């Protein structure tokens, strides 16, 4: 594992994620230390989270494919399995525009909350969220970033 200077942290802005990291991933296939993962494939606590020392505790960054071969778009529904009843990532609020110098539109941001299925039904709205995701996506690219956080 690569070592970093003591106290180093990865704390990008939304504009930095879209303009630098996503652009490099899509145009040059350079991902740096951000891994590609379909975060909608399993419950967030069952995902194989990256243990990058630059990430703050209980925070992870991933590139997420916006389309999978043969499928029009990726569903935010998480299927049930033996360890989890599944659930869905629900949008909270509206889509926020990410602009460069408050003028040029570079991409969008959406906040998602994971809602678990409890006894086969989606949990109530007033239950405290176990995971949040800040999803940043550019105007015309096939990937988005997911910044997962455990409150």
H or E stretch including 34? none
Is pLDDT of 67 > 70?
Answer: no
Tokens 């180093």 found at: 8
**Given pLDDT bands bounded at 50, 70 and 90, which one contains residue 136?**
confident
| 79-133 confidence digits (pLDDT tens) | 666 666 777 788 888 888 888 888 888 888 888 888 876 655 555 554 445 777 8
Looking at residues 61-80, what average pLDDT do you find?
Answer: 64
Give the tens place of pLDDT for each residue, 35-65: 888 887 788 888 888 778 888 888 888 888 7
Whether pLDDT at 71 is above 50? no
> Highest mean pLDDT: which of 2-11, 51-60, 64-73?
51-60
Instruction: Give the integer Cα–Cα distance in Å for 35 and 9.
Output: 17
Long-range contacts of residues 47-54, Cβ cutoff 8 Å, at least 24 apart: 49/148, 52/10, 53/1, 53/3, 53/4, 53/8, 54/4, 54/8, 54/9, 54/10
**Element of type H or E holding 5:** none
Mean pLDDT of 6-22: 77
């Amino acid at each position: 594992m690569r070592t970093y200077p003591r106290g180093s942290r990865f704390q990008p802005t939304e504009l930095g994620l879209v303009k630098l990291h996503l652009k490099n991933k899509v145009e040059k296939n350079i991902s740096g230390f951000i891994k590609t993962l379909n975060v909608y494939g399993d419950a967030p606590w069952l995902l194989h989270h990256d243990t990058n020392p630059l990430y703050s505790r209980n925070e992870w960054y991933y590139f997420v494919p916006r389309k999978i071969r043969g499928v029009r778009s990726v569903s935010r529904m998480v299927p049930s399995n033996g360890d989890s009843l599944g659930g869905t990532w629900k949008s909270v609020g509206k889509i926020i525009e990410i602009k460069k110098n408050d003028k040029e539109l570079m991409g969008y941001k959406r906040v998602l909350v994971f809602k678990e299925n409890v006894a086969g039904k989606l949990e109530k709205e007033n239950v405290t969220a176990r995971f949040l995701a800040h999803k940043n996506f550019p105007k015309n690219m096939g990937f988005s970033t997911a910044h997962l956080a455990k409150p």
